[in-house]
Amino acid sequence: GNSVTQMEGPVTLSEEAFLTINCTYTATGYPSLFWYVQYPGEGLQLLLKATKADDKGSNKGFEATYRKETTSFHLEKGSVQVSDSAVYFCALGQGSGGGADGLTFGKGTHLIIQP
Amino acid sequence: DVKVTQSSRYLVKRTGEKVFLECVQDMDHENMFWYRQDPGLGLRLIYFSYDVKMKEKGDIPEGYSVSREKKERFSLILESASTNQTSMYLCASSRGQGHQPQHFGDGTRLSIL
């Protein structure tokens, strides 16, 4: 079956540091890939997505590139801020239900940015 | 803006009770989902629905059922609540075609005593 593996953390960085959160996946065919962010006390928000190989998703300074050869979708940001502290989830979407099937999530990476 | 609303942020119930968690979306989305989120386990899919009165089992349906009588509303039912169902429950919705992003509510933190 499908699976998503990501570093769980917590990952602690200083403000303005470079961020990488690794995500690798196992799936047949051509899944869509997503990064979601969850701020304390809130639900998940879509951060970015990519739907095919070599696509780059980007939003709010975050980027991730769909690498089919390495089955990866690593999240990066050049200079993090305290407000980026949150839990980040990598997810894939695939199924025969025309997109109706649920997503498969990684376990989440808790990111802490210190001033 | 997209809005998924879950009826309660916090809920405390007793073992054996029948529990209803309600979710409403205002985007006319075809698909709706219920997940539970637990520390160290991430999100796991309980049930989903791609149309009114339709439902499909997710990865962990045991002990749960769902109801979708109207397009905008998707209810999760714990038939006889047990302590191992203490968790954060998240509802989501998405449009019908392709692998569209899912939009999430803020979650219901359910405690079963």
Contact across the interface for A93 and B99, Cβ inside 8 Å: yes
**Out of A103, A106, A108, closest to residue B102 by CB:** A103
Q: Please state, rounded to an integer, the average pLDDT across all residues of chain A.
A: 91
Q: Buried b vs exposed e over B58-68: b needs ≥16 C-beta within 10 Å? A: beeeeebebbb
B50 → closest Cβ in A97, A105, A106: A97
DSSP assignment string, B57-91: E-S--TTEEEEEEETTEEEEEESS--GGG-EEEEE
Name the pLDDT band for A84 (thresholds 50, 70, 90): very high
Within 8 A by CB and 6+ apart from B1, the residues are none
Contact in structure between B10 and B108 (CB atoms under 8 Å): yes
Burial class from Cβ neighbours inside 10 Å (0-12, 13-18, 19+) for residue A47 reads buried
pLDDT at A96 over 70: no
Greatest mean pLDDT among A7-11, A49-53, B78-82 lies in: B78-82
Query: Given this model, what pLDDT does residue B55 score?
Result: 92
3-state secondary structure A53-65: CCCEEEECCEEEE
Residue with more model confidence, A58 or B96: A58
- Could you tell me the mean pLDDT of each successive run of 10 residues in chain B, 113 residues long? 88 97 94 92 91 91 96 97 97 80 92 97
pLDDT above 60: residue A80 = yes
B43 to A89: CB separation less than 8 angstroms, yes or no? yes
In this predicted structure, what is the pLDDT of residue A99? Answer: 47
Window A:14-53, CB contacts with B under 8 Å: 31-32, 34, 36, 41-46, 49, 51
Q: How far apart are CA A80 and CA A83, in angstroms?
A: 8
| CB neighbour list of residue A106: distance below 8 Å, 6 or more residues apart | A4, A5, A6, A23, A89, A90, A91, B42
Q: Does B96 touch chain A (CB under 8 A)?
A: yes
Min Cα distance A92 → chain B (Å) is: 9
Q: B90 vs A106: CB contact, 8 Å cut-off?
A: no
Q: Which residues of chain A lie closer than 8 angstroms to B90, CB-CB?
A: 43-44
Q: Which residue of B has its CA nearest to A108?
A: B42
Q: Which pLDDT does position B101 carry in this prediction?
A: 81
Per-residue model confidence (pLDDT) at position B99: 67
The backbone region for A68, taken as left when phi is positive above 0, alpha when psi lies in -120 to 50, beta otherwise, is: alpha
Q: Is the pLDDT of residue A7 over 90?
A: no
> In this model, does residue A97 exceed pLDDT 50?
no
Tell me whether residues A102 and B30 touch, CB distance under 8 A: no
Per-residue pLDDT at A17: 97
Q: Which residue of A8, A31, A44 is in closest CB contact with B104? A: A44
